[in-house]
Amino acid sequence: MEHDDTTISAQFLGSGVSLISRDPLLGSFELVSSTGATIEVSLDRPSAEALLSALVQFLSQGQAAEFDDGM
């Protein structure tokens, strides 16, 4: 099987996370790709915590830039 190294961009449209199970905690959310395809992202507690941590780090970069601009 050959690997396709094409990068496909995707966008989160803010639809929220669908709860699949409370115990164990499982959910999913959707992204829409640049080709129009829907990508379902599955989450469990560890992956949700990792994503949250990455997003907090990302947002803190924006806050640092806002403070540097005198805001």
Residues 12-53 have pLDDT tens digits of 999 899 999 999 999 999 999 999 999 999 999 999 999 999
How many separate domains does the chain show?
A: 1
pTM of the model: 0.73
Position 3 in a domain? no
Position 1 in a domain? no
Please, which contacts does 38-47 make with residues 24 or more away whose CB atoms are closer than 8 Å?
Answer: 39/10, 43/17
- Structural domain that includes position 33: 10-68
Position 32 in a domain? yes
Position 2 in a domain? no
d(CA 55, CA 38): 21
Position 5 in a domain? no
Position 39 in a domain? yes
pLDDT at 66 over 70: no
At 48 the pLDDT is 97
